[in-house]
Amino acid sequence: MPGPLILIDGFSLVFRAYHALSRTGMQSPAGEPTFAVFAFANILTSLLDKHKPDAIAVVFDTKEPTFRHVMYPEYKAHRDAFPDDLVPQIGRIKELIRLMGLEQVEMPGFEADDIIGTIAARESQDGHEILCVTSDKDYFQLVTDKVKILRPGKDVGEYEVYDAVKVKEKFGVGPEHVIDALALIGDTSDNVPGVKGVGEKTALPLVVQYGSVEGIYEHLDEIDKASLKKKLEENRDNAFLSKTLVTIHTDVPVDAKRVALVRRPMDFQAIDAFCADMGFHTLRKKFAKYAEANGVELDLPAPSLLASSNPASEISETSAPSGNLSTLDDVAHNYTLVDTEGGLQDLLKALAGRTLVSVDLETTGLDAMMCAIVGVAICVDEGTAWYIDVNDPSDRTETPMFGDHSEQHGLPVQMVIDALRPMLQDPHVGKLGQNLKYDALVLRRHDVVLSPIEMDTMLASYVLDPDKQHNLDALAERWLHYRPISITSLIGEKKSEQRSMRDVDPSVVTAYAGEDADVAFKLGALMRPELEREGLWDLARNLEFPVEEVLVTMEFNGICVDTSALANLSEFTRSEAARLEKEIWHEAGEQFTISSPKQLGEVLFERMMLPAGKKTKTGFSTDSSVLTELALTFPIAQMVLDYRQVEKLRSTYVEALPKMINPRTGRLHTTFNQTVAATGRLSSTSPNLQNIPVRTELGQQIRKAFVPQRKDHVIVSADYSQIELRIMASICKDPNLINAFASGEDVHKATAATLFDTPLAEVTSDQRRIAKTVNFGIMYGQGAFGLAQTLGLSRTESQQIIANYFEKYPGIKKYIDDTIATTRDRGYATTLLGRRRYFPLINGNNRGLQAAAERAAINSPIQGTAADMMKVAMINVHRRMQEERVQSIMMLQVHDELLFEVPTNELDVMIDLARTEMVNAFPLEGVPIVVDVGHGASWYEAH
């Protein structure tokens, strides 16, 4: 019996493939994105293996408009452009289709739906079985006894088969009513209007009762519900238009017949070369088996040579899902619930002599400084874990994030803490886990210092490739081909209705928490060898893991804010916003909602007729870049910028900070993020203290509210001076720049003197401003266009300034050229400590994306080295503070600055300690490091 004819909706599956593995960030050895190609290849091979089709065609849309666009210009008008990292993969996908001997069909002016509909209708009349592969529900209208739809499931290679019965079961009507139902419902993704206000619940019964859109309007008077009747009357034209738009045509003049779609022999040699280029090692072996079955022998390298030097290629590919992911039901495991004192003692005996322990806490919320412990999971061998059910009294003294607590169970928290403390603090027992900073902070509140951190899988993933996702689910999928239990299966999907983990049966939590500890243990066993192979283990072990322990202490310490000062500032910002609002209204000649981009755009660009910039989907852009340019000529634009700044600072800091004060400590406890910025920089959230302006009056007033909590204490600020410029000077070894720093001169003034060939004493403030802009702009990869915009010069003038700059500082030009060339060759840039950041698009075909990658690659070694230097300094300062047994505390790290709360009798000691450790953290060749240290009654005074 002949196999079926498979018709594939090309772009439907391309996007399915893209989203299935986008978070893996797979790349070829050359740094080319490959995850969509890999997923698409697995989809094709699974279809061939399972359905064994005689004929197959992959049908693609083209760029040319179709009759639907002519009829309704808004059709698909709101669809986003292809993702930047998908564009280069489409050509690769089409290349693989050709090499696999599969037919590609495209017809300018016709959509894939209509081409597939025509082929399916024609070939099914001849008695052939047709399988249409797509995620588009419009295809349900094509279903007959011979035509079925294969809809992709959750996993790559997983499908649901839709026949007429399944269509009715899932969609609510049979194939014969699909067109009319879709006409009423509409489709937001394709911008098909439908009948506004009518959804599936209303549309399906109407279609079943009256048979069609035409039937509904013929019997409109029979519809009793006035509001529905009104909607149908007002949207009559849209209903009939939508029916035309959603109807798949089955009479397209396409020549492709079954005989032309019969599979051709695969070009196995070319496929093997293709897979080698892409870094698809498992697929390469899979196609080798196909080749062997067809009498073709491929000369594959030895298995050991099928390893890649690019972790973003080999690791992701070998662990990316090519079918269903494994779950807990598929793996051998032994997770034990510990809820008795005897069970706890048995666990302690099992832990005796262990040198590596995976730890995972379950809690009542996400705020480590407020939540209660629900349980502790521990794993010391793959597949074996224990879960200690904990009864924490504080569980009933706070408002939990996940609902109310009810039944009390578990061992007393103090008993558990006392039993585990020796192991958790043992310097000879390494601690392993995922995002251990959270667990360590919770434990710190119970007087436990979790140390040493031997492996944090989240940080390990970040060190290997900072641009990937680092959550446990993503890591399990990428490295273990495994899907962990979802927390929502325990506490519920909807946040407002989620219950506390405390209310989940301990036996159920045992599986969830034991699995988390077990998965982290398995990941650690894979990640360390990979870090060592890539030369990144020292960076993880000696920098990222130790600084995580420092951050635990800093988050625990927190910082004090003066709420009365903020209350006064709140009154000021509200009156200032009101003043600016009136001025803007006066300038505009009308009142409107300034915070509405749509209304603001209409006022500025339609009524005031200001020159409009870029447009968005909803109207004119009023972002800061547009307003900043307008502000040079039109006062109202500057007023709006000022208004936005005041309102942002009021809502984000002035009125938000008091609400974020911990009621137990009376302090703010920000969360530092190690895996957000790809450069290696730290960021902070809840609150974000990185974005408080330094130079504006309002920003300074906010900083005045950060004060010591204790009497006879001061705030000390230690700040690296121009550290990124100093790093650039050291890396590029340009003698002019090095000499400026070595002589202690004002580097921007010295640059201006060199650029404008002017004696240092005669440099004007405007010349210094230009030099400063050029210094920082060049460091961030800024070109002539960007510099012209920043300085308000012509492009020709800015080009001349840059050319002059490179002539006077040839070492910088050489650094830029060498960095771009090296990054293109290796696919990544590195800091002086070896931190990597991958730039796959630097070798792409899109010049805009390539230029952006080049700019980031130029800055990455500089900004990344500054981040590394700060982390080394934090580790060393923290160590010295412990050795000196000072009472001072380290509270914040913001940009290039460390902030301390210091007793006045330790002031001299801390100033010397901070400056010494920061200066000596990472000496730069040929360039002195300068740290400015200040102190005062507030952050503002200290800085």
| Chain segment 750-784, per-residue pLDDT in tens | 999 999 999 999 999 999 999 999 999 888 888 88
> 197 falls in which pLDDT band (50, 70, 90)?
confident
The DSSP call for residue 30 is: T
Q: How confident is the model at residue 78 (pLDDT cuts 50, 70, 90)?
A: low
- 3-state SS of 537-584 is HHHHHHHHHHHHHHHHHHHHHCEEECHHHHHHHHHHHHHHHHHHHHHH
User: 725-863 belongs to which homologous superfamily?
Assistant: 5' to 3' exonuclease, C-terminal subdomain (1.10.150.20)
Which CATH class, in words, describes the domain spanning 328-557? alpha beta
Q: Residue 725's pLDDT band (boundaries 50, 70, 90)? A: very high
Peptide bond into 687 cis (omega under 30): yes
Class of domain 560-666: mainly alpha
Does residue 303 register a pLDDT over 80?
Answer: no
**pLDDT of residue 395 exceeding 60:** no
46-55, 181-190, 313-322, 400-409: range with lowest mean pLDDT: 313-322
Strand 356-363 and strand 334-338: pairing?
unpaired
Q: Whole-model pTM?
A: 0.70
- List the beta bridge partners of residue 672: 684
Backbone angles phi, psi at 528, to 5 degrees: -60, -50
Share of the chain above pLDDT 70, in %: 93
- Taking alpha carbons only, the member of 69, 66, 79, 72 closest to residue 110 is 66
**pLDDT interval class at 313 (50, 70, 90):** very low
Q: How confident is the model at residue 496 (pLDDT cuts 50, 70, 90)?
A: low
pLDDT at 400 over 70: no
Name the DSSP letter for residue 281: H
Q: Count of CB atoms within 10 A of residue 65's CB?
A: 13
pLDDT for 407 equals 61
Checking if the pLDDT of 822 tops 50, the result is: yes
For 564-593, what is the mean pLDDT?
96
Residues constituting the chain: 943
- Among residues 95, 104, 117, 93, the alpha carbon closest in space to that of 42 is found at 93
In the prediction, which pLDDT does 617 show? 54
Higher pLDDT, 309 or 814: 814
**Does the pLDDT value for residue 187 go beyond 90?**
no
Instruction: Read off the pLDDT of each residue in 809-818 and give the average, rounded to a whole number.
Output: 94
Task: Say what the pLDDT of residue 311 is.
Answer: 40
* Domain definitions of the chain by residue range: 5-171+249-260, 328-557, 560-666, 725-863
Q: For the chain, how many helices (H) and strands (E)?
A: 39, 25
At residue 107, does pLDDT exceed 90? no
Looking at residue 390, its amino acid is V
Distance CA 793, CA 797 (A): 6
Higher pLDDT, 300 or 66: 66
User: In which band, very low, low, confident or very high, does the pLDDT at 257 lie, cut at 50, 70 and 90?
Assistant: low
Closest CA to 316 of 526, 18, 27, 20: 27
Give the whole-angstrom CA distance, residue 817 versus residue 783: 14
Residue 154 pLDDT > 90 = no
Helix (H) or strand (E) holding 430: strand 430-433
Burial class (CB in 10 A: 0-12, 13-18, 19+), 720: buried
CA 454-458-459 angle, 5° bins: 60
Question: What are the tens digits of pLDDT across the range 550-559?
Answer: 999 999 999 9
Q: Residue 693: enclosing H or E segment and its boundaries?
A: none
Lowest mean pLDDT among 209-213, 405-409, 817-821: 405-409
Q: Which residues contact residue 422 at a Cβ distance below 8 angstroms, ignoring those fewer than 6 apart?
A: none
pLDDT at 195 exceeding the cut of 80: yes
Residue 444 predicted with pLDDT over 60: yes
Amino acid at 412: P
CA angle 643, 644, 646 (to 5 degrees): 65
For 823-862, the pLDDT digits (tens) are 999 999 999 999 999 998 888 777 777 888 899 999 999 9
| Whole-number percent of the chain with pLDDT over 90 | 64
Q: Which of 80, 84, 86, 104 is nearest to 94 (CA)?
A: 104
Least confident of 279-283, 395-399, 632-636: 395-399
Q: Name residue 461's amino acid.
A: S
Rounded CA separation 413/371 (Å): 13
Would you say residue 481 has pLDDT above 70? yes
Which superfamily does 5-171+249-260 belong to?
Answer: 5'-nuclease (3.40.50.1010)
Mean pLDDT, rounded, for 692-711: 93
What does the pLDDT look like over 517-544, one tens digit per residue? 999 999 999 999 999 999 999 999 999 9
Write down the pLDDT at residue 127: 83
| Helix pair angle (810-826, 723-732), 10° resolution | 80
Beta-strand relationship, 713-720 and 931-936: antiparallel
pLDDT for 883: 97
Lowest mean pLDDT segment, chosen from 137-151, 792-806, 920-934: 792-806
Tokens at 748, concatenated: 């921007």
Average pLDDT over residues 321-325: 54
pLDDT exceeds 70 at position 413 = yes
